[in-house]
Structure 1
Amino acid sequence: MHIISLPEPEGRLKRKAIASLGSHTLSKSSIANGSPSGKIGPQRTTKNIQKLKLLPAPDDGEGDEESGRDVYSQVTRIKDSTARRDAERLGKAERAHLPRTTAYCTAGKYNMEGLMKFLKSKTTTRGCNPKQFDECIYTPFSYLYQKRVREQTEQDLIDFQELQLTESASAAIVGPDSPTLERNPDVPSDALSFVDTHLITPEIFLFEYGVVVIWGMTLQEEKRFLKDIAKFEMEKLGEEDVQVENFNFYVTSSYQPRIYNDFITLSAGSSYMVKLSISHAIAQSVKISLYEDLVDNTIEDTKSIPQDVALTGKVRMSRRKIMMHIGDLFILRININLQGSVMDSPELMWAEPQLEPIYQAARSYLEINQRVSLLNQRLDVISDLLQMLKEQLSHSQGERLEWVVIVLIAVEILVALVNVAVDLFASVD
Structure 2
Amino acid sequence: MASKVYLPSDGEKLPLLAPTAQPQMGTPKMIVPRKAVSDKLKPAALDANRNKFQKQSQPRKAIAQFRKKTRQQLPTWAGRVTVHLHVDEIDIEKVTEAFRQRDGWNAIDHFEVCRIWQTEPPYIGHETLGTMSDWPMSDEEAVDNGHIAVDMTTAMPELYLFSFGAAVFWNFPSDEYEKEWMTKHLLEDLSDYCGDSYSDAEIESAQDSISFQYGDKYSIKRDVCVLSTRDSGEKLAVSFALAKSSLLSLYELRVQQVIERNSHIPEAMVQNGRIHMSTREMSREIGRLFLVKHGINLDQSLIDTPEEFWEDDRFEPYYDVTLKYFEISKRLSLVNNRLDMIGELHNKIMEENHTHHAVILEWIIILLIVVEVVLDLLHLGFY
Superposition TM-score, scaled by structure 1 size: 0.65
Partner of 2:363: 403
Partner of 1:305: 265
Letter in 1 for 2:182: L
Q: How many angstroms apart in 1 are the aligned matches of 2:347 and 2:211?
A: 45
- Displacement, 1:134? 1.3
Note the residue ranges of structure 1 that are not aligned, 5 or more in a row.
Answer: 1-35, 52-86, 152-181, 190-195, 424-429
Q: Contact 1:42–1:286 (CA<8 Å) still a contact in 2? A: no
Letter in 1 for 2:225: I
SS at match of 1:223: helix
- Displacement, 1:409? 1.0
- Displacement, 1:340? 1.4
Q: Contact 2:123–2:156 (CA<8 Å) still a contact in 1? A: no
- Displacement, 1:396? 0.7
Q: How many angstroms apart in 2 are the aligned matches of 1:197 and 1:400?
A: 79
Partner of 2:87: 107
Distance 1:90 1:316, change over 3 A: farther
Distance 1:309 1:39, change over 3 A: closer
- Displacement, 1:112? 2.3
Partner of 1:277: 237
- Displacement, 1:98? 3.7
Q: How many angstroms apart in 2 are the aligned matches of 1:148 and 1:385?
A: 55
Partner of 1:245: 208
Name which of 296, 299, 302 aligns with 1:339. Answer: 299
Q: How many angstroms apart in 1 are the aligned matches of 2:170 and 2:134?
A: 21
Name which of 359, 373, 377 aligns with 1:413. Answer: 373
Distance 1:42 1:134, change over 3 A: farther
Partner of 1:156: none
Q: How many angstroms apart in 2 are the aligned matches of 1:389 and 1:419?
A: 45
Q: Contact 1:44–1:366 (CA<8 Å) still a contact in 2? A: no
What does residue range 169-184 of structure 1 map to in structure 2 within 5 Å? none
Name which of 226, 245, 250 aligns with 2:182. Answer: 226
- Displacement, 1:319? 1.1
Partner of 2:163: 208
Distance 1:197 1:367, change over 3 A: farther
Partner of 2:109: 132
Structure 1 residue 319 corresponds to structure 2 residue 319? no
Partner of 1:236: 197
Structure 1 residues 222-252: Cα deviation after superposition (integer angstroms, max 9, x where no partner): 1222112111331211222212011111224
Q: How many angstroms apart in 2 are the aligned matches of 1:236 and 1:323?
A: 26
Q: Contact 1:103–1:244 (CA<8 Å) still a contact in 2? A: yes
Note the residue ranges of structure 2 that are not aligned, 5 or more in a row.
Answer: 1-52, 136-148
- Displacement, 1:141? 3.6
Letter in 2 for 1:187: S
Structure 1 residues 159-214: Cα deviation after superposition (integer angstroms, max 9, x where no partner): xxxxxxxxxxxxxxxxxxxxxxx98762269xxxxxx9845211111111111111
What does residue range 192-203 of structure 1 map to in structure 2 within 5 Å? 198=151, 200-203=155-158
Q: Contact 1:106–1:236 (CA<8 Å) still a contact in 2? A: yes
- Displacement, 1:41? 3.3
Identify which of structures 1 and 2 has the higher relative contact order when contacts are C-alpha pairs closer than 8 Å and 6+ apart: 1
- Displacement, 1:39? 10
Q: How many angstroms apart in 2 are the aligned matches of 1:402 and 1:107?
A: 52
Q: How many angstroms apart in 2 are the aligned matches of 1:117 and 1:342?
A: 26
Q: How many angstroms apart in 2 are the aligned matches of 1:391 and 1:366?
A: 39
Q: Contact 2:237–2:318 (CA<8 Å) still a contact in 1? A: yes
Q: Contact 2:61–2:208 (CA<8 Å) still a contact in 1? A: no
* Count of equivalent residues: 305
Partner of 2:100: 120
Q: How many angstroms apart in 2 are the aligned matches of 1:363 and 1:215?
A: 18
What does residue range 371-390 of structure 1 map to in structure 2 within 5 Å? 371-390=331-350
Name which of 16, 29, 47 aligns with 2:64. Answer: 47
Q: How many angstroms apart in 2 are the aligned matches of 1:287 and 1:346?
A: 15
- Displacement, 1:350? 0.7
What is the aligned-residue identity percentage?
25
What does residue range 4-15 of structure 1 map to in structure 2 within 5 Å? none
Distance 1:297 1:391, change over 3 A: same
Q: Contact 1:41–1:293 (CA<8 Å) still a contact in 2? A: yes
Partner of 1:20: none
Distance 1:376 1:188, change over 3 A: closer
SS at match of 1:240: helix
Structure 1 residue 186 corresponds to structure 2 residue 146? no
Q: Contact 2:81–2:168 (CA<8 Å) still a contact in 1? A: yes
Partner of 1:89: 73
Q: How many angstroms apart in 1 are the aligned matches of 2:347 and 2:99?
A: 48
Q: How many angstroms apart in 2 are the aligned matches of 1:224 and 1:296?
A: 29
Q: How many angstroms apart in 2 are the aligned matches of 1:215 and 1:136?
A: 15
Q: How many angstroms apart in 2 are the aligned matches of 1:309 and 1:250?
A: 54
Q: Contact 1:109–1:209 (CA<8 Å) still a contact in 2? A: yes
Q: How many angstroms apart in 2 are the aligned matches of 1:406 and 1:141?
A: 80
Letter in 2 for 1:390: M
Q: How many angstroms apart in 2 are the aligned matches of 1:42 and 1:287?
A: 13
Q: How many angstroms apart in 1 are the aligned matches of 2:134 and 2:369?
A: 91
Name which of 209, 218, 222 aligns with 1:257. Answer: 218
